[in-house]
């Protein structure tokens, strides 16, 4: 096996092993990433993160101090195969730019198609040198974009970039790309890492506000838990099965928010995302969402309140819940575990569709069941249960309307923010769903809080709640009398009248 392949495999295995041990997010690893052709250039995306302003005036030696924002290049090495080492090359670029300066990279001749590498037409215009990446200084951000790189000498198989730190003195979404314009380097790969740091820690800018948000949500769940568990302890003899399920949801929510907070806190402190905590937080959250939907669905069907069992629907409800859990778990794992940049991958849209379809099916089934349950409650004149179900229906209707409105806003937000220029507000989108689900949970807790009157909302087998039998009872009609029976009945009536006369 050629030495090039040996060294490349060794580097790849080492970096892949590091990723298995710990998923690093603010540390961007390049494990032998191959350059991909984009237009007339060859590109590797090195990362994209929102970074907040850092005060200028600090030199490279102090770049690791707290309060400083920077992007550090460490052990960046470019490797080419031995058969492509018999010639010297131009520059292999590392281009770091803020999203507002994206137009400073590339250009076009006579208004034609935009190119990253300088073409013959652009070279004739004197705009650049043919075969080099086109870049020019920003008019609004002096000194940017940052462009540096290395080249290969004859018979040189590896070229190492000198370590350096780029201090960030302007808040923005920063993008790093490794680029070259040499067609003979089609098998060129890059290895190493870059470290991205915000003034307050290693959390990417879009994720940083979520640290405080999860802290507040943990406190909110704690307050709700204290209220609920105190009521539960006071009236434990009157507790319904439904209230046990609500207790489970509150407990899962408390664990979920606490785990997310510790995950982000550890990530922010060390720059290394604790994979175990992340997976546990995802799993607790997915179980909570699944159980919440199943509880709402079964309550809408009247289970435990107006009917003792779900009958033949149990297997369908369990199947729907299991499918939703798997789809949601996969989506969350792809989104959070191993996430490096402040960007959403294309796989996210594909994985979001099954979850959206299942959510829509849940909503349809819930409101269909609620309509049937309300009609039966009204027919039986069970006013206490009817009142609580009407409030429950109104709360769900408001939640669905707000959700649809927010989905429309989210689609608008993402469609108008193609380059992630609004990254500072992007954290509000996932935070909203947590707030909405928590608000609905609070309403459910208020409606079904344990009390001394809890049992009046439970199912009781006294004959007044036999919904499944009431329709069949109306089908029982008196059979018509035969002629013989009618004659006997008339004679009995005559005899009765004679007795009365006497």
* DSSP state letters, 405-470: HHHHHHHHHHHS-TT-TTGGGTTHHHHHHHHHHHHHHHHHHHHS---TTGGGGS---SSTT-HHHH
* pLDDT tens column, 121-136: 888 888 788 889 999 9
One-letter-per-residue 3-state SS of 411-429 = HHHHHCCCCCCCHHHCCHH
pLDDT for the residue numbered 130: 86
- CA 365, CA 359: separation in Å to the nearest integer? 10
Q: What is the mean pLDDT of residues 444-473?
A: 61
* pLDDT tens column, 5-35: 443 333 333 333 333 333 333 788 899 999 9
Q: Is 265 helix (H, G, I), strand (E, B) or coil?
A: helix
* pLDDT tens column, 144-193: 999 999 999 999 999 999 999 999 989 999 999 999 999 999 899 999 99
Domain with CATH 1.20.1070 in the chain: 208-464
CATH class for the region spanning 208-464: mainly alpha
Helix (H) or strand (E) holding 34: strand 27-34
pLDDT for the residue numbered 483: 46
Does residue 463 surpass a pLDDT of 60?
A: no
Does residue 63 surpass a pLDDT of 70?
A: no
* pLDDT tens column, 394-432: 999 999 999 999 999 998 998 888 888 899 999 999 999
Residue with tokens 């099965």: 241
Does residue 328 surpass a pLDDT of 50?
A: yes
- CA 166, CA 180: separation in Å to the nearest integer? 21
Confidence of residue 461 (pLDDT cuts 50, 70, 90): low
Does residue 305 surpass a pLDDT of 50?
A: yes
Top pLDDT among 41 and 11 is at 41
Q: Is 127 helix (H, G, I), strand (E, B) or coil?
A: coil
Averaging pLDDT over each range in 62-71, 106-115, 233-242, which range is the top one? 233-242
In this prediction the pTM is 0.80
One-character DSSP codes across 165-232: EEE--S-EEEEEEEEE--GGGTT-EEEEEEEEEBTTBSS-TTTHHHHHHHHHHHHHHHHHHHHHHHHH
- CA 242, CA 262: separation in Å to the nearest integer? 31
pLDDT for the residue numbered 488: 47
- Measuring CA to CA, which residue among 393, 224, 383 is closest to residue 299? 393
pLDDT for the residue numbered 302: 83
- CA 94, CA 45: separation in Å to the nearest integer? 10
Q: Angle, nearest 10°, between helix axes 275-300 and 314-336?
A: 150
Top pLDDT among 76 and 243 is at 76
Given a contact cutoff of 8 angstroms between Cβ atoms, the answer to whether 49 and 205 are in contact is: yes
pLDDT for the residue numbered 11: 35
Residue 160 pairs with which residues in a beta bridge? 77
Q: Is 245 helix (H, G, I), strand (E, B) or coil?
A: helix
- CA 69, CA 281: separation in Å to the nearest integer? 28
Does residue 216 surpass a pLDDT of 90?
A: yes
pLDDT for the residue numbered 257: 97
Does residue 501 surpass a pLDDT of 90?
A: no
Does residue 244 surpass a pLDDT of 60?
A: yes
Q: What's the mean pLDDT when you consider all of the chain?
A: 82
pLDDT for the residue numbered 474: 33
Given a contact cutoff of 8 angstroms between Cβ atoms, the answer to whether 49 and 194 are in contact is: no
Q: Which range is least confidently modeled, 45-59, 67-81, 237-251?
A: 45-59
- CA 466, CA 460: separation in Å to the nearest integer? 9
**Helices H / strands E in the chain, number of each:** 11, 12
pLDDT for the residue numbered 240: 80
- CA 456, CA 453: separation in Å to the nearest integer? 6
pLDDT for the residue numbered 56: 52
- CA 68, CA 199: separation in Å to the nearest integer? 5
pLDDT for the residue numbered 117: 92
Confidence of residue 111 (pLDDT cuts 50, 70, 90): low
Q: Which range is least confidently modeled, 6-15, 172-181, 271-280, 321-330?
A: 6-15
């Amino acid at each position: 096996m050629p030495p090039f392949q040996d060294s490349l495999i060794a580097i790849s295995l080492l970096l892949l092993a590091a990723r298995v041990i710990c998923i690093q997010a603010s540390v961007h690893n390049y494990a032998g990433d191959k350059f991909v052709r984009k237009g007339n250039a060859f590109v590797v995306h090195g990362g994209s993160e929102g970074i907040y302003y850092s005060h200028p005036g600090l030199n490279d030696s102090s770049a690791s101090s707290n309060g400083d924002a920077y992007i550090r290049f460490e052990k960046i090495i470019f490797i080419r195969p031995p058969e492509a080492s018999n010639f010297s090359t131009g520059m292999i670029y590392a281009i770091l730019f803020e999203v507002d300066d994206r137009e400073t990279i590339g250009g076009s001749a006579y208004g034609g198609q935009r190119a990253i590498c300088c073409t013959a037409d652009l070279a004739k215009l004197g705009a650049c040198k043919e075969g080099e990446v086109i870049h020019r200084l920003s008019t609004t951000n002096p000194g940017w974009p940052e462009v540096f790189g290395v080249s290969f000498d004859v018979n040189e198989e590896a070229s190492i970039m000198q370590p350096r730190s780029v201090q960030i003195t302007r808040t923005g979404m920063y993008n790093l790309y490794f680029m070259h314009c040499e067609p003979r380097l089609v098998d060129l790969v890059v290895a190493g890492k870059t470290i991205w740091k915000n003034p307050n820690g290693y959390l990417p800018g879009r994720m940083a506000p979520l640290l405080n948000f999860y802290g507040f949500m943990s406190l909110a769940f704690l307050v709700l838990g204290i209220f609920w568990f105190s009521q539960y302890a006071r009236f434990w003899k009157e507790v319904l099965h439904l209230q046990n399920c609500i207790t489970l949801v509150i407990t899962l929510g408390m664990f979920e928010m606490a785990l997310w907070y510790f995950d982000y806190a550890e990530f922010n402190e060390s720059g290394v995302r604790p994979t175990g905590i992340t997976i546990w937080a995802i799993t607790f959250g997915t179980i909570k969402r699944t159980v919440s939907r199943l509880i709402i669905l079964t309550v809408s069907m009247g289970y435990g309140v107006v009917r003792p069992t779900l009958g033949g629907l149990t297997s369908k409800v369990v199947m729907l819940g299991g499918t939703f859990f798997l789809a949601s778990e996969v989506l969350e794992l792809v989104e959070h575990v191993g996430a490096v940049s402040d960007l959403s991958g294309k796989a996210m849209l594909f994985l979001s569709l099954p979850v959206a379809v299942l959510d829509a099916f849940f909503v349809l089934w819930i409101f269909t069941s609620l309509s049937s349950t309300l009609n039966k409650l009204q027919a039986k004149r069970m006013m206490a249960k009817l009142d609580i179900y009407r409030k429950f229906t109104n709360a769900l209707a408001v939640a669905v309307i707000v959700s649809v409105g927010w989905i429309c806003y989210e689609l608008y937000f993402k469609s108008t923010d193609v380059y992630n220029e609004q990254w500072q507000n992007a954290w509000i989108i996932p935070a909203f769903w947590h707030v909405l689900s928590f608000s609905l949970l609070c309403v459910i807790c208020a409606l079904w809080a344990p009390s001394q009157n809890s049992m009046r909302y439970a199912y009781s087998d006294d004959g007044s709640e036999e919904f499944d039998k009431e329709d069949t009872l109306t089908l029982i009609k008196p059979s018509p009398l035969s002629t013989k029976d009618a004659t006997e009945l008339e004679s009995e009536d005559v005899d009765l009248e004679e007795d009365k006369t006497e």
